[in-house]
Amino acid sequence: MFTGIVSELGTVGAVEGTDGGAVFGVDAPATCVGLTIGDSIAVNGVCLTAISVEGVRFTVEAISETLQRTNLGDLETGSSVDLERPVEVAGGRFDGHVVQGHVDGVGVVLRIDIEGSSKRLRISTPSALARYLVEKGSVTVDGVSLTITAVSAVASDEPWFEIALIPFTLDVTVLGQRAVGDRVNLEADILAKYVERLMEARG
């Protein structure tokens, strides 16, 4: 389980295509400390498994399903990625919100407004996810836990939501490098899904 608090901005150092998938070598000195083969790690909000760790580089593999449902297929050598290790069971603080690393869909950056030293992003969302997004609620964008500042109507033909990014987030995550037209991984708050399921059962 993750919290959406990015711990390091890594750099893709190598990309190798496989049979329908891809293997990524990611350079991340801090993340590699204590990382072992088989450990989970969130890359742009996608839960993957480390298949090798050598020095400051770890390697993960994404299958075709993952590449089709996330923006990992857009990565190339030199790309920046948001990284997070799973939350510690004991001895740590639980910041952010519950992030599973199970991406629900991909959105597209529709507009970016500069507001002083911060930025406001409007991002499209698949219609199936719109009902889980509420103003002041939580959403995960490329692995970053964020607060939603505005949303379109649920019934909108082209639903969207907005997030405001402070300078710190812009500096230490990949979101600071996003441009209009870029695709981003989205994960809705799992609590909203549980509530919906419970309401269905009671109805």
Going residue by residue through the chain (203 aa), what tens digit of pLDDT does each one get? 898 999 999 999 999 998 888 999 999 999 999 999 989 999 999 999 899 999 999 999 998 888 988 999 999 999 999 999 998 876 666 667 788 889 999 999 999 999 888 899 999 999 999 999 999 999 999 999 998 999 999 889 999 999 999 888 999 999 999 999 999 999 998 888 888 889 888 86
Q: Please indicate, yes or no, if residue 100 is contained in any of the structural domains.
A: no
**CATH number of the domain within which 42 lies:** 2.40.30.20
Residue/partner pairs of 90-94 with CB below 8 Å, 24 or more apart: 94/3
* Residue 78 and residue 151 share a domain: no
**pTM (predicted TM-score):** 0.82
User: Residue 38: which domain range?
Assistant: 8-84
The reply to whether 32 and 72 lie within a common domain is yes
Look up residue 19 and give its amino acid. D
In a domain, 178, yes or no: yes
What is the three-class DSSP state of 62? strand
Task: Compute CA distances 47 → 66, 109, 117, 158, 165, whole Å.
Answer: 10, 22, 31, 28, 23
